[in-house]
Structure 1
Amino acid sequence: MSHKLASSNPQAPVAVFNFPFASHPSSLLRFIRTISAVAPDIKFTFFSTSRTNSSLFSGSNNKGLDNVKPYNVWDGLPEGYVPPSGPPLEQIGLFLDQAPQSFERALKEVEAETGHKFGCLISDAFLWFSGDIAQKMNVPWVTTWSGPRPLLVHLETDMIREKVGAPGQEDKTLDFLPGFSNEFLASDLPKEVVFGNIESPLANMLYKMGQKLPQATAVAVNSFETMDLKVSEELKKRLKKLLLVGPLHLVRPVPSAQSDDDEEEKDACLPWLDNHKPASVAYISFGSVGALPPMEVAALAEALEEGGFPFLWSFRGNLEDFPKGFIERTSTGRVVPWVNQVQILNHPSIGVFVTHGGWKSVLESVTCGVPMIGRPHFADQTLNMRSVEVVWKIGMRIEGGVFTKSGAIKVLEQALSLEQGKEMRQRVGVLKQLAQETVGPNGSSAQDLKVW
């Protein structure tokens, strides 16, 4: 590690700063585990809120994490705080207000307790201030990010606001951005990037991140070069070092860290799927945060029932949102609280993935060779689904952006029964092959991981 990304002392521990919301913690920890498979002698301290750390490092989750120690930082919430319902925007704001001081204080506490100085700082890209802390420490700063195309958008926020920032410009095309065709629209971008108050906590964080990332020693992205070649080339021009290290879920952990793959129990739904024809079942999941509004839950359920589509729905919402008697009546489908998504997507009977379009879900769908129907909610999901639709042509977004019964029947038929679905499956099969090659011994992602 000495001549690569970290300090001149290869024994120096590495500090990891986590953004404790949505799927960010598990994604960052997976990246750390992937590095530890390549460089098993490195010791990591994982700085996050107590709530996230207790969830990530509890019980069986701890297996294979001997070289990663959690350390709690303040979540920024006042005593007795009761969070409002809905997305945690207020909690994010309170956390970010205190985060620069909280993380720096915690880092100094660990150095004082252990007597060891950290030799490198890895952070979620959202925590832009980590660059300033790394500079004070005089150590390399490495950040992690999900998909390449949204990253380019954040790096070009000033140009985007200049060209399309005025209200009423939502339908303006983005072909002024390198790697973007005129099929990309301003409305595909997170509103925080294009419109509105750049001083809101989330918009401000994203803006500062876009300004700061070109100073990072390296930016590690969970993707692979051949998935979005033009955008990858543009990112390389703007960043000191771009590491394309994905798809991370295909990279094998070290033997001691096999608990989340090789020793995992088979998902209980797999025998049920065995009874279905190839590419005949719709798998439905809207991620760990995004929940469909009740009217859309009902519309999608009615479409599944009326069309007789076999389905497996991983559902975390309120069962009362389903039409009365839906679960009892639909012998063609199953509603379950949780599934092992990669195991399910890898099953030959899955013909389409109905998804919110989060980057992790898009990558998993690609590596399993499954086309997508997208109903994005927020953040980079709309941009991800537009890429799925117009760049790779391996899926489609729901018409009008919300589920109606007729709209859902239409896309489910296209994906599961018509020629369009077969063509999408062929194209996603090519991407699946490229993804497998990239994590192979001589693949580009495997090479980029060797910088550790």
Structure 2
Amino acid sequence: MTASQLHIAVLAFPFGSHAAPLLTLVQKISPFLPSNSIFSFFNTSNSNTSIFSKAPNPENIKIYNVSDGVKQGNDTPIGCEAIQVFIQSTPTNFEKSMKEAEEEIGVKFSCIISDAFLWFCCDFAKKMNVPWIAFWTAGSCSLSVHLYTDLIRSNEETLLKIPGFSTSLRISDMPQEVVAHNLEGGFPSLLYNMALNLHKADGVVLNSFEELDPKINNDLKSKLQKVLNIGPLVLQSLKKVISDVNSDESGCIKWLDKQNEKSVVYLSFGTVTTLPPNEIVAIAEALEAKRVPFIWSLKDNGVKILPKGFLERTNEFGKIVSWAPQLEILAHSSVGVFVTHCGWNSILESISYGVPMICRPSFGDQKLNSRMVENVWQIGLQIEGGNFTKSGTISTLDTFCNEDKGKVLRQNVEGLKEKALEAVKPNGSSTENFKVLVELIKFHKPT
């Protein structure tokens, strides 16, 4: 251990699809740092177990469990209540674990990388005199609306004109935290404080590529010190995804091999979103009526809601699995459209493999993402009426199966796919931004 050794503190937000992309970022950075560099990864026990159980833990990543705020003997909260309890325990839970890590390893922290939600890292970094790098796990569009929270809340118009956006936005497109009644507590407060303090970060990293939202990115660059789009991170593992046949325990890829090119509808709504029973029934009725080939990632409790006899009647042209290898499916030439909740990871994956989308957003940034998919990037459609009905689902599927509109959407998403591939090439924008990020992490601030 030497005084010049890099010791990077990594602070995760342990809910939704946040901690896993942060770990992916760390794993991508690691080979470009000196061999004796070490990462201390701070996260709750449950979240650490979830993300580290899927792959061997590299020796240079030390795992630390921070308190989730749940007192011993109390029932474990779920959903919004769990987030609330965790927020109440921050930042002291991180401070305690970070002190322990420095004592155990014997090297002071040289840099802090955190989920952007954890805005208080600006105070940690200032006190330690080290760089703070904030990782925004969603797109530049949703980051922008958070930075314009005050403007949005002061606007009484039905349609909002936000700098950088080429289309007007509706209040209903906004993440609930931006327009919450009270910004003084809980999750809305966490995100509002992030918006107020993110300019203090030495770099803000996004899992996206500049060419997707150039005007929004230019506006962000006028407000933040460094805006570094380094994605899509999924494209870094493209070869592995396509060749990894061992991950097809569900048999999805073998099934897809027997289907016609761009004929299959793939349906998945993430790990958090649960559709109402009537919408699950509506999807099933539409798929059966259309007799369109489909793969549907649906948990057992959703399967129980399906119309009686549906599985038997659709067995020849449909496949339902409790878990689907999403990347391998989207990369397959038989897949023609992705029916999605519009989480950011799913959108990036869909763009990366050139698959247009049918959007049914639920919460968070999903409604804004859906608006961008349909109105700005024009690579998909929002489901008619915002909820699945039999007639609306059939109508939307018809657009992709029979009409010229579907061809245009496919051409547009193929165009973005090419731009994404260019961004991660040796001299691409994301690769150049990644080089800047590595230098930021290596930089020792003068004492």
Q: State if a TM-score over 0.5 links the two structures.
A: yes
- The answer as to 2:208 corresponding to 1:227 is no
The equivalent position to 2:380 in structure 1, one of 377, 395, 399, is: 395
- The answer as to 2:263 corresponding to 1:280 is yes
CA contact 1:9–1:119 (8 Å) conserved in 2: no
Backbone CA RMSD of aligned residues: 1.9
Larger mean Cα displacement after TM superposition, 127-136 or 177-186: 177-186
Structure 1 residues 82, 413: closer, same or farther in 2, change over 3 A?
farther
Per-residue deviation, 1:62 = 1.4
Per-residue deviation, 1:365 = 0.2
Once the two structures are superposed, the pairs formed by residues 306-321 of structure 1 within 5 Å of their partners are 306-316=289-299, 318=301, 319-321=303-305
Per-residue deviation, 1:309 = 1.3
Q: For residue 133 of structure 2, what is the amino acid of its counterpart?
A: V
- The answer as to 2:94 corresponding to 1:103 is yes
Larger mean Cα displacement after TM superposition, 195-204 or 122-131: 195-204
Q: Which residue of 1 aligns with 2:72?
A: 79
Structure 1 residues 309, 252: closer, same or farther in 2, change over 3 A?
closer
Per-residue deviation, 1:261 = 7.7
Q: Which residue of 1 aligns with 2:235?
A: 250
Per-residue deviation, 1:33 = 1.0
Per-residue deviation, 1:74 = 0.5
Q: Secondary structure at the match of 2:208?
A: coil
Normalising by structure 1, what TM-score? 0.91
Per-residue deviation, 1:112 = 1.2
Quote the Cα distance in structure 2 between the aligned partners of 1:425 and 1:436: 16
- The answer as to 2:22 corresponding to 1:39 is no
Quote the Cα distance in structure 1 between the aligned partners of 2:200 and 2:345: 26
Quote the Cα distance in structure 1 between the aligned partners of 2:219 and 2:273: 31
Q: For residue 173 of structure 1, what is the amino acid of its counterpart?
A: L
Quote the Cα distance in structure 1 between the aligned partners of 2:403 and 2:65: 52
- The answer as to 2:286 corresponding to 1:329 is no
CA contact 2:70–2:76 (8 Å) conserved in 1: no
Q: Which residue of 2 aligns with 1:370?
A: 355
- The answer as to 2:297 corresponding to 1:305 is no
CA contact 1:290–1:377 (8 Å) conserved in 2: yes
CA deviation vs aligned residue, 1:127-166 (integer Å, no higher than 9, x gap):
11111111111110001012001001111111111114xx
- The answer as to 2:153 corresponding to 1:161 is yes
- Structure 1 unaligned regions, length at least 5: 1-7
Per-residue deviation, 1:195 = 3.7
CA deviation vs aligned residue, 1:394-437 (integer Å, no higher than 9, x gap):
00111221101101111111123321111111110010001011
Q: Secondary structure at the match of 1:251?
A: helix
- The answer as to 2:259 corresponding to 1:265 is no
Q: Which residue of 2 aligns with 1:149?
A: 141
Quote the Cα distance in structure 2 between the aligned partners of 1:200 and 1:333: 46
Quote the Cα distance in structure 2 between the aligned partners of 1:383 and 1:317: 30
- The answer as to 2:344 corresponding to 1:344 is no
- Structure 2 unaligned regions, length at least 5: 439-447
Structure 1 residues 395, 47: closer, same or farther in 2, change over 3 A?
same
- The answer as to 2:159 corresponding to 1:173 is yes
Per-residue deviation, 1:179 = 2.1
Q: Secondary structure at the match of 2:55?
A: helix
CA contact 1:174–1:180 (8 Å) conserved in 2: no
Per-residue deviation, 1:190 = 1.1
Per-residue deviation, 1:260 = 7.5
Q: Which residue of 2 aligns with 1:70?
A: 63
Quote the Cα distance in structure 1 between the aligned partners of 2:379 and 2:282: 24
Q: Secondary structure at the match of 2:155?
A: helix
Quote the Cα distance in structure 2 between the aligned partners of 1:83 and 1:349: 43
Quote the Cα distance in structure 2 between the aligned partners of 1:382 and 1:13: 38
Structure 1 residues 232, 317: closer, same or farther in 2, change over 3 A?
farther
CA deviation vs aligned residue, 1:113-139 (integer Å, no higher than 9, x gap):
221101000000111111111111111
- The answer as to 2:80 corresponding to 1:89 is yes
Q: Which residue of 2 aligns with 1:61?
A: 55
CA contact 1:279–1:416 (8 Å) conserved in 2: no
Per-residue deviation, 1:183 = 4.0
Per-residue deviation, 1:251 = 2.1
CA contact 2:265–2:292 (8 Å) conserved in 1: yes
Larger mean Cα displacement after TM superposition, 363-372 or 328-337: 328-337
Larger mean Cα displacement after TM superposition, 363-372 or 266-275: 266-275
What is the percentage of aligned positions where both structures have the same residue?
48
Q: Which residue of 1 aligns with 2:401?
A: 416
The equivalent position to 1:22 in structure 2, one of 12, 16, 19, is: 16
The equivalent position to 1:217 in structure 2, one of 202, 214, 222, is: 202
Per-residue deviation, 1:39 = 2.6
Q: Secondary structure at the match of 2:159?
A: coil
Per-residue deviation, 1:316 = 2.4
Quote the Cα distance in structure 2 between the aligned partners of 1:10 and 1:443: 31
CA deviation vs aligned residue, 1:375-410 (integer Å, no higher than 9, x gap):
001000000010000111000111221101101111
Once the two structures are superposed, the pairs formed by residues 353-368 of structure 1 within 5 Å of their partners are 353-368=338-353
CA contact 2:241–2:327 (8 Å) conserved in 1: no
